Every structure is written in structure tokens, then in C-alpha cells.
Amino acid sequence: MAAVREHWDALYSRKTPEGVSWYQRHLERSLSFIDQAKLDRDDPIIDVGGGASTLVDDLLDRGFTDLTVLDISRSAIDAAKARLGDRAERVHWIVADVTDATLKPDWYVFWHDRAVFHFLREEAARRSYVASVRRAVKAGGHVLVATFGPDGPERCSGLDVVRYGADELHSQFGPEFTKMSSVVENHRTPGGTEQQFLYCYCRLWPV
């Protein structure tokens, strides 16, 4: 895990948050799913791998009051804190690997992950990730995971990734996760290339 953390800290020391390939000024697709969930403004939301993403800015603008950002890179989180200024004090920040992070059990109403899960190439890591979701998300909670789609890149930021179709991605989570919808989006990177993302939206109903 130390090597992975060092990899991402080094990346954020070389690039600005606006220079990474997955950057979007506003995560419109993610925000659309969150809006559709019709959450109360005090419902807990966690952004896994949120790092320097602007999603937390937009959620604060929408009035959400219980926000957590988890990322393995302290450098990424420090960049987000610097951007938010005083507003950073209104966010819970966790520097950890999601596969072994200690999260509040049965707490989060919305779990958001854009571009973490596809870096988990080992089956054991994926099982640990799903176990973290099961423990941390309330019954009936919302789970949105976005990975590279079938025609997406095979590598990102110098690392190999796993590409998924909708059924393949959902099968990683199991019958407790009821698939509600999925959508493919072509993301244009700051460098002008296109990356295919797949968004899979589920509800967690433990059996």
C-alpha cells in the first residue's frame, strides 16, 4: 500500500488537479445521480478517491452538511483543502486505502466512486472494497461506481486498469446490490483525448 500511496503522491506533485486525465470542472453525471437520489441535506455522503475532485465543492454549494472525502494520497487531499479554504473545515477528510480503511458502520447514505475501482486488479482487493461498501453503507443506501468502460483505456496514470461492462461491474458486488441503472459517458480529458466511462448505480439491500 505504501508504494501505491507514493505513486499517487508523486503524481499530484508533478501535476495540478486540473492536469490529471480524469479532471472535470463539475462532475455533472455524478451530480445528476445524486440529485435523482433525493437525499436529505444532512444525509452522509462519501466520495471515495475524491482527492482533489471538485465534487465536494458542488455538494457544499447544494447545502449538504455531512460530507466525507477519502483518498490514498495526502497530496491530493491537501490540494482540495487549499482550494476550499475555510470551507474545508466542513468536510471529513480520510487519508487511507479504501480496501482497508476504518469507516463508520451503517453510516453513509450515498457512496460515490469515480475511477478507483478499476485500479483494483487483484480479486482480493476487489473483495475487500465490496466488503467496505457493505459495512459502511446503510441499508437502502445508494452506491455509484464509475470505471472505464469496455472501450476505455487499458492504462491510466502509468497503471494497468480493469475495464468493465455494466453486467460485469455489477457482478463484482453481488445480489445485495440491486442494479438501478447504468450509463456510458465519453469523457474528454484536459489533453483533448476521449475516455469511455461506465457508471453503475445500485441500492444496497442486505439479505
Nearest by Cα to 171 from 126, 205, 138, 133 = 126
Cell of 19: 492536469
Nearest by Cα to 164 from 178, 150, 151 = 150
Could you tell me how far CA 192 lies from the centroid of its own chain? 23
Q: Give pLDDT tens digits for 191-207.
A: 767 889 999 999 999 76
Is the pLDDT at 26 greater than 90? The verdict is no
In 10 A of CB 74, how many CB atoms? Answer: 15
Residue 67 pLDDT class (50, 70, 90 cuts): very high
- How far is residue 174's CA from residue 192's CA, in Å, rounded to a whole number? 36
Q: Under DSSP, is residue 46 helix (H, G, I), strand (E, B) or coil?
A: strand
**For the structural domain made of 2-204, what CATH number should be given?**
3.40.50.150
Contact 108, 137 (CB under 8 A): yes
Contact 21, 190 (CB under 8 A): yes
Contact 45, 67 (CB under 8 A): yes
Contact 169, 198 (CB under 8 A): yes
Q: What is the mean pLDDT of residues 172-189?
A: 92
Give bridge partners of residue 184 from the DSSP assignment: 198
The residue extents of the domains of the chain are 2-204
Cell of 47: 466520495
Residue 51 pLDDT class (50, 70, 90 cuts): confident
Give the pLDDT confidence score for residue 20 in this predicted structure: 60
- How far is residue 123's CA from residue 81's CA, in Å, rounded to a whole number? 33
- How far is residue 155's CA from residue 163's CA, in Å, rounded to a whole number? 10
Q: Give pLDDT tens digits for 81-124.
A: 999 999 999 999 999 999 999 999 999 999 999 999 999 999 99
Q: What is the mean pLDDT of residues 16-22?
A: 59
Residue 158 pLDDT class (50, 70, 90 cuts): confident
